[in-house]
Amino acid sequence: MRIREIVKAFESYKVVEGNYRIWLDKNENPFDVPTEIKEEIFEELKNVPFNRYPHITADPLRERIAEFLGFEKENVIVGNGSDELISLLLKLFEGDHIVISSPTFGMYDFFAKLEGIDLVDVPLDERFKLQNVEDYAENAKAIFICSPNNPTGNTQEGEKIISVLETGAPVILDEAYIEFAEGSNVDLINEYDNLIVLRTFSKAFGLAGIRVGYAVGSEEIINYLLRIKPPFSLNVISMKIAELMLDHYDVIKQNINYIIKERERIYKEFKEYAYPSEANFLLMRLNAYEFLLERGIVVRKLGGRLDGHIRVTIGKKEENDELIKALKEFLEVK
């Protein structure tokens, strides 16, 4: 029975395959690493011994991330994607349930079922804002807050996040898309020992293929996470690429600005149907999944409370032009 529940939790992650022209379904960055930076990476990799294990806790990358964010290495842990860190965090804290606010990132539910942990869902309100999650903080293993939220794209108010932190329960703030938003709450780590902030290199940095995520938290929490984390989980190639991309944040920032500009352009075209977003995607109240698929454009089809909605990743201008054209055709015939 438990296996069936786990499989059901993962059903929404079925991958669409086929010879489609435009892929706007996985919130990937449309920009690959520039050739000149790849050449720099390849040169660096020539000096990396592949016959040796990487640093056991990936300290070289931890140090670079800490420097980049203004923290100490002891405040940072890296993982094989942020998914690995979610799994570890659920093993770390005591409690009998986790709290989520749907619609949100499906892996919280998946890992809870995998660990046999009860899940309490306090749905977001009609504006996709947090409601009374504080009421369920007692004996919670963790309270998950995704901001900007996937798949809705909105951020949560800092005052509300502080209100949840004041309960003393472990709060996991998922900021996977924060580079596309106006501000982060990562500095709250200096005030709240119960806060863990998740980040990733998959979105703004355009490194989804190398699978690097990280978490920022108090020295105590990070120390405990390191004790239960399998050694050598991050390979030497991924580690080196992530380190080097931090040296080229000017390029990353250019891409971020491009994506934000394109996001706002698409939003203005369909503001009657699209929700405001601070991520690299838009949630749209349009049942256009099959229509777009027939035209070679893959977006994310949503269900449950968001049945009849699609989530559209922001692509390059030419891809977005085709999306806009196709959606206008859809609106004409629907």
pLDDT confidence of residue 334: 72
Closest CA to 314 of 31, 33, 35, 14: 31
Q: In what order do the strands lie in the sheet with 171-174?
A: 76-79, 213-216, 195-200, 171-174, 140-146, 97-100, 118-121
Domains of the chain by residue range = 2-32+250-333, 49-246
Exposure of 88 by Cβ count < 10 A (0-12 exposed, 13-18 middle, 19+ buried)?
buried
Q: Are strands 97-100 and 140-146 parallel, antiparallel or unpaired?
A: parallel
Return averaged pLDDT per consecutive 10 residues of the chain, 334 residues in all: 58 64 96 96 95 95 97 97 94 95 96 94 98 97 98 98 98 98 96 98 97 97 95 94 97 98 98 98 98 97 96 98 98 87
CA distance 36 to 102: 42
CA separation for the pair 149, 190 (Å, rounded): 23
Cα–Cα distance, 220 to 234 (Å, whole number): 22
Q: Which residue has the tokens 């934000």?
A: 260
The domain over range 49-246 is classified in CATH as 3.40.640.10: yes
Residue 288 and residue 275: Cα distance in Å, rounded? 16
Alpha carbon 107 to chain centroid distance?
10
Closest alpha carbon to 161 in 181, 186, 138, 190: 186
Helices (H) and strands (E) counted in the chain, each on its own, are: 11, 11
CATH of 2-32+250-333, one of 3.40.50.2300, 2.50.20.10, 3.40.190.10, 3.90.1150.10: 3.90.1150.10
Question: Which tokens is 208 given?
Answer: 């989804």
Closest CA to 233 of 203, 213, 208: 213
Given this model, what pLDDT does residue 87 score? 94
